């Protein structure tokens, strides 16, 4: 997890005293910011992410796409509202600014998810499996699959838990399980794979090519797709390395497409059209398919 375990729980005043803190020590910790009183009798670590502190202040736990971002799981949505899990029985809530309010999906920049959660009572975050389920419900299909892939790859969700995850989703979404693949190393890679699978040809991921190394995707055995992001491909050294790989692949008869993450997100038709054109033309004579 990206979140420090010290940030995933809250304390009551009695618990702090039981842990050996004096009344004066608690007040000093509040003054210097080592502790934050999120709401009455709920204290969180002073360095906890703002989203966690706000979720506890509201009366719940950080949840859904908001929690996924904090855990480093891929989320495509640009919705920056705070998603919070709130027990159904809770009626008195606060806004992130501490005013007692009635929260709904349009107010205060908060999206409340009214449900019970198996996380411990003192947890500041929702149960990760439950939060992944909620993130699937809050996103379109392809980004939702990318979120599951990412959660699998990072170990937030284990392979053995997929059955439970999909059993808790609506029936219409259970068919998506066959599209999940935790080998995907990035959200753009998952999205690219889902875009090109419509052509009905083989789509292999994380393929090792002798003398060249591992590539993100190989379509129809001869089209290599590398999904570039600013994080790993922005420097000139990285670009020189990438271009050297492309030249080596070309010498072996492969055709390489290198869409950026942003192009996959905002203009997916560019990749789809390119692959469609290549498949229609066919591979170069003598190319050895993988």
| pLDDT bucket at 109, cuts 50 / 70 / 90 | confident
Q: What is the mean pLDDT of residues 269-286?
A: 92
Whether the pLDDT of residue 105 is over 90: the answer is no
Q: Residue 43 corresponds to which tokens in the numbers above?
A: 């204290």
Exposure of 6 in the CB half-sphere (CA atoms within 13 A): 7
SS3 160: helix
Give residues with Cβ within 8 angstroms of 35, minimum separation 6. 16, 26, 29, 43, 44, 45, 46
Task: Report yes or no: 148 and 165 within 8 Å, Cβ to Cβ.
Answer: yes
Q: How far is the C-alpha of 132 from the C-alpha of 134, rounded, in Å?
A: 5
Q: How far is the C-alpha of 56 from the C-alpha of 116, rounded, in Å?
A: 15
Whether the pLDDT of residue 89 is over 90: the answer is no
| pLDDT bucket at 232, cuts 50 / 70 / 90 | low
Strand order in the sheet with 213-219: 203-209, 213-219, 223-225, 255-257
**pTM score, two decimals?**
0.90
Task: Report yes or no: 44 and 35 within 8 Å, Cβ to Cβ.
Answer: yes
pLDDT in tens, 39-80: 999 999 999 999 999 999 999 999 999 999 999 999 998 888
Q: Where in the chain is the domain with CATH 3.40.960.10?
A: 187-281
pLDDT at 106: 45
Whether the pLDDT of residue 131 is over 90: the answer is yes
Helix runs in 72-186, H state only? 128-137, 141-154, 162-167, 171-174
In words, the CATH class of domain 187-281 is alpha beta
Q: How many residues are present in the chain?
A: 290
Q: How far is the C-alpha of 200 from the C-alpha of 207, rounded, in Å?
A: 19
| pLDDT bucket at 107, cuts 50 / 70 / 90 | low
Whether the pLDDT of residue 81 is over 70: the answer is yes
**Lowest-pLDDT range of 83-97, 125-139, 163-177:** 83-97
If you ran DSSP here, which 8-state letter would residue 127 be given?
-
Q: In this prediction, what percent of the chain has a pLDDT beyond 70?
A: 91
């Amino acid at each position: 997890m990206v979140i420090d375990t010290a940030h995933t729980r809250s304390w009551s005043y009695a618990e702090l005293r039981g842990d050996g803190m004096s009344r004066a020590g608690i007040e000093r910790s509040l003054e210097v910011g080592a502790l934050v009183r999120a709401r009455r009798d709920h204290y969180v670590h002073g360095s906890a992410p703002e989203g966690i502190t706000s979720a506890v202040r509201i009366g719940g736990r950080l949840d859904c796409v908001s929690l996924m971002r904090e855990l480093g799981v891929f989320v495509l949505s640009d919705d920056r509202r705070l998603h919070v899990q709130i027990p159904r029985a809770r009626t008195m809530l606060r806004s992130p600014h501490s005013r007692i309010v009635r929260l709904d999906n349009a107010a205060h920049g908060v999206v409340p998810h009214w449900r019970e959660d198996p996380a411990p009572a003192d947890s500041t975050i929702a149960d990760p499996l439950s939060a992944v389920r909620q993130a699937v419900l809050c996103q379109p299909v392809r980004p939702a699959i990318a979120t599951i892939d990412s959660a699998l790859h990072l170990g937030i969700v284990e392979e053995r838990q997929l059955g439970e995850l999909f059993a808790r989703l609506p029936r219409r979404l259970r068919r998506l399980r066959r599209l999940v693949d935790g080998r995907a190393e990035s959200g753009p890679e998952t999205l690219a794979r889902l875009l090109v699978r419509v052509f009905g040809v083989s789509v292999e991921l994380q393929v090792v090519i002798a003398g060249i190394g591992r590539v993100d995707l190989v379509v129809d055995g001869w089209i290599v797709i590398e999904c570039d992001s600013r994080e790993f491909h922005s420097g000139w050294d990285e670009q020189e390395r990438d271009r050297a790989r492309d030249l080596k692949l070309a010498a072996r008869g492969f055709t390489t497409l290198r869409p950026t993450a942003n192009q996959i997100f905002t203009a997916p038709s560019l990749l789809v059209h390119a692959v469609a054109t290549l498949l229609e033309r066919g591979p170069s004579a003598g190319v050895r398919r993988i």
